[in-house]
Structure 1
C-alpha cells in the first residue's frame, strides 16, 4: 500500500478505538516507520537489492514488538502497516513477517517446474514466484536468484483500487467520526502535530529525499551526496523525536509469565512438530 494509505488508515483506527487525537497521530507516525527499510540511494551503491531488505527489515513481527516495547502506540501503527502490506501482491513483494529468522533456511522443496529436492535438512516448501516478480516489480525490488517462498502475499496491487479505497475511506471516516465538532478536532490535530514535530519532520525529510532520488536522480546518479545528507538528517531528527516519546508499557507478573509460557510452548511445539513431520513424510518442510 502507499505510504499515505498506511498513515490515514492507522489514524482512522486510532480515532475509532482510542477516541484521542494524540494517539491517532502517534499511530499514523508508527505506520510510517516500516517503509524506512527501502534502500533508495544505497541500492546501486552497495548492491543491497540482492539482500531484499525492503518489506523485510522493518516489516516483521520482531520490529513491531520492539517498537511496541519502545512505545505501544508506535508499535500498533507498525502492526497496522504490516497487516495492510500483507494484502499486497508478489509484484509489491508482500511482507517478510519472520525476518531475519526465515533466512536461516535458504532452500526449498518444490520449484515451479515441479522438481522436488530431497534433502535431509529442513526446507521451505515452495519456490518464491520469481517469474512473476521479475517481470512486474521495480528493478530494486526484484530478487536476483531463486529463493524460497517466505513472504506473505495478497491479491491487491499498490496504487490501484484497493489501495486508494483505503486512502479515501480513511479520510471520509475521520471526517464523519468527528463531524459534530470538526473545528475542535482540527485544532487538537494541529496541537498534536506540533507536539510530534521532530518525528514528522524526520519522516518527511527521509521520504522526500528518497523519492526525489528514485523518481528524478537515480537514472543519472547525480546528487547522491545531497540526497544522502537529506535522508540522514531525517533519520537523525526522527531518532531524536522517538526518544522524546519513549514510553515502554508496564508489564505485571502475570503478563510476563504468559509471555514466557508462550515462548516455551512454541519452542517445544517446533521440536515435536519436526519429529512428527520427519517420521511421517521422511522430509522436513515448513
Structure 2
C-alpha cells in the first residue's frame, strides 16, 4: 500500500484505540512509516536489490516488529498495522516476508512454478515463488534474479489501485468525522505535535521518502553524475539520521509482567520442542521434511 495510506490508516485506528489521544495516534502513524525504509532506493543498485530481495522483507517481518514493539509499543503498533495492510498486496508488489531472515535459511523448494517435483533430504519449502509473474509485472528492483522458495504472504490487491485508495480515503474521512466537534482545533494540534514536538522525525521522514520516491520513479532511469547521486544519498542519509536522532528519545517499551514472561518462555520452549518432534515425525513418515 502507499505510504500515505499506511499512515492515515494507522492514525484512524489509533484514534479509536486510544480514545482520541492525538499524541499517541501520531506515534502510531510514525511507526507505520518505518517499514518502508527498506525500499529499493539509491543506496543499493537494482541488481543487488534484486538479488537479495530486501523490500517488504528487511523491515516487514515479525522480528523487526517485535524489536520496535519492545522499544516503543506505539511505534510497534504502527509497524504491525503497516504489515497488516501489505499482507493484502499481490505478488507484483511482493506482499511481505513475515519470517525474514530465518525463513531464508531453507533454500530448497519441493514444487517449482511449472509443477515439477523435487526430492531432497534437507528441509524444503513447498512451492517456488511465482517468478514468471513477478518478473513480468513488478518494478525492476523487485524482480527475482533466480528461483526462490515461496516465503512471502500475498493478497489479491495492487498497490495504488482501488483497495489502496479506498483505505486511504475511508481513513481520512473517518478521522474528519471522528473529530468533527473540534476539527479545526484537531488539525492545529496535529500540526503542532508533528512539526514542533517531533520536528526531526517529521523532517527525516519527509527527506528520506520525498527524495527516495523521486529517485525510484524518475532519477534512477536517467544518467546522473556521481556527485548528483552523492547529493541524493546524502539527503536521504540525513533523513534517516534525523529520524534515529529523535527516535531514540521515544523509548517506551511494551511491559511484560511476570505472568506474561513465564507464558512467553513456555511458549518458546514448547515451539522448539514442537518443531523438533514434528521434523522427526515427518522424516519417519514421509522421508522428507516439507515446511
Question: Once superposed, which parts of structure 1, at least 4 consecutive aligned residues long, lie more than 4 Å away?
Answer: none
Question: Structure 2: where are the runs of 5+ without partners?
Answer: none
Residue 282 (structure 1) shift: 2.0
TM-score norm. by structure 2 comes to: 0.95
TM-score computed with the length of structure 1 as normaliser: 0.97
Could you tell me how far apart the structure 2 residues matched to 1:162 and 1:94 are? 14
Partners of 2:79 and 2:223 lie apart in 1 by: 32
Partner of 2:48: 47
Query: Do the aligned partners of residues 22 and 181 (structure 1) sit closer, same or farther apart at CA in structure 2, a change above 3 Å counting?
Result: same
Equivalent pairs, count: 286
Deviations 1:106-165, CA, capped at 9 Å, x for gaps: 110001222111111110000000010000000000010001000000000001100000
For 1:122-201, what aligned pairs fall within 5 Å after superposition?
122-193=123-194, 194-201=196-203
* 8 Å contact from structure 2 (residues 113, 131) kept in 1: no
Alignment correspondent of 1:211? 213
How far apart are the structure 2 equivalents of 1:188 and 1:267? 48
2:279 corresponds to which of 270, 274, 279: 274
**CA RMSD, Structure 1 to Structure 2 (Å):** 1.2
By how many angstroms is 1:249 displaced?
2.7
In 2, are the aligned partners of 1:42 and 1:48 still within 8 Å (CA)? no
Q: Quick check: 164-173 or 192-201, which moved more?
A: 192-201
Kindly report which structure 2 residues correspond to 1:1-286, keeping only aligned pairs within 5 A, or say none: 1-19=1-19, 20-44=21-45, 47-193=48-194, 194-222=196-224, 223-286=228-291
Q: What SS class does the counterpart of residue 92 from structure 1 fall into?
A: coil
Deviation string for 1:80-99 (max 9, x for gaps)?
00010010000000000000
| Unaligned 5+ runs, structure 1 | none
CA contact (8 A) 2:120 2:288 kept: yes
